[in-house]
């Protein structure tokens, strides 16, 4: 109550639209918004900016900016967070895998899914025409708003809060739902299989290396208890190991 009173008094003194958040978002909705952020908001300006689509500003003389600049910042912050997460959680995977997986996690579809997952459409300020497309349409509006929200969290609470929020709402749900881990980390899958079957030895051997120094090709065999289970090739040893593990998993499923 005191915080809401503070916001209203601040608005009366400054006439700054950003302190009049209850006018734009009902107080019960604002409380819901804080719940899924899991912390109290004391500087609402960033969040109101993040939730304001440019279509909403038409005819609003006292409105200043849309969420486009925060979207730009949020995009950079998400790239950093996702890159760090993948680097730390996939220590054996090469740059190609990390780059592909990051692009899958930060594309509009993944961001749109995250925005829908947290029901961000309940809070976005858009024109009447745009409001008819939410929540099931307007992928760009929702994905952009999610990026802007990450930017707002970063400015208000710092990188750690932004990182926790992105991991909980974007990264981990994306892995769980879309199966990135299952589809792409074949060495991890093969290791899980070996542990489940009580296989003690799993080894990767380079059996062939060919081509000039700048364009080499590697062929790798993977052995479980000294028995060859799969063979794979790649432009570097790590990708060849992944392909060997993939080949082994295919044979295991057939047998």
Query: Active-site residue among 32, 68, 75, 94?
Result: 75
> Among this protein's residues, is 75 annotated catalytic?
yes
Neighbouring residues of 100: CB distance < 8 A, sequence distance ≥ 6: 184
Cα–Cα distance list, 205 to 62, 91, 110, 209, 226 (Å): 67, 19, 37, 11, 11
Question: Cα(11)–Cα(7) distance, rounded to whole angstroms?
Answer: 6
CA 164 to chain centre: 11
Whether the CA torsion 107, 110, 113, 119 is positive or negative: it is negative
Query: What CA–CA distance (Å, rounded) separates 239 from 227?
Result: 21
For 55, residues 6+ apart whose C-beta sits below 8 A from its C-beta are: 126, 127, 129, 130
Residue of 93, 113, 144, 147 with catalytic role: 147
Q: Which residues form the catalytic set?
A: 75, 147
């Amino acid at each position: 109550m005191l915080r809401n009173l503070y916001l209203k008094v601040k608005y009366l003194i400054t006439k700054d639209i950003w302190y009049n958040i209850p006018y734009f978002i009902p107080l019960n909705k604002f409380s819901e918004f804080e719940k899924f952020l899991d912390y109290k908001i004391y500087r609402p300006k960033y969040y109101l900016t993040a939730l304001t689509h440019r279509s909403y500003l038409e005819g609003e003389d006292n409105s200043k900016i849309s969420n486009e600049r925060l979207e730009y910042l949020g995009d950079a912050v998400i790239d950093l967070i996702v890159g760090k997460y993948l680097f730390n959680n996939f220590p054996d995977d090469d740059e190609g895998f990390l780059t592909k997986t990051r692009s899958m996690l930060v594309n509009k579809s993944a961001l749109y899914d995250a925005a829908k997952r947290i029901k961000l459409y309940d809070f976005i300020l858009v024109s009447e025409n745009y409001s008819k497309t939410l929540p099931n349409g307007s992928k760009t509006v929702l994905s952009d708003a999610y990026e802007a929200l990450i930017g707002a969290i970063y400015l208000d609470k710092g990188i750690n809060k932004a990182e926790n929020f992105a991991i909980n709402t974007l990264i981990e749900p994306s892995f769980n739902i879309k199966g990135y881990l299952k589809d792409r980390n074949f060495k991890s899958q093969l290791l899980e299989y070996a542990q489940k079957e009580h296989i003690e030895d799993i080894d990767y051997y380079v059996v062939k290396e060919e081509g000039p120094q700048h364009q080499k090709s590697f062929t790798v065999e993977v052995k479980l208890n000294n028995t060859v289970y799969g063979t794979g090739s790649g432009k570097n040893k790590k990708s060849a190991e992944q392909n060997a593990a993939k080949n082994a998993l295919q044979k295991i499923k057939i047998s």
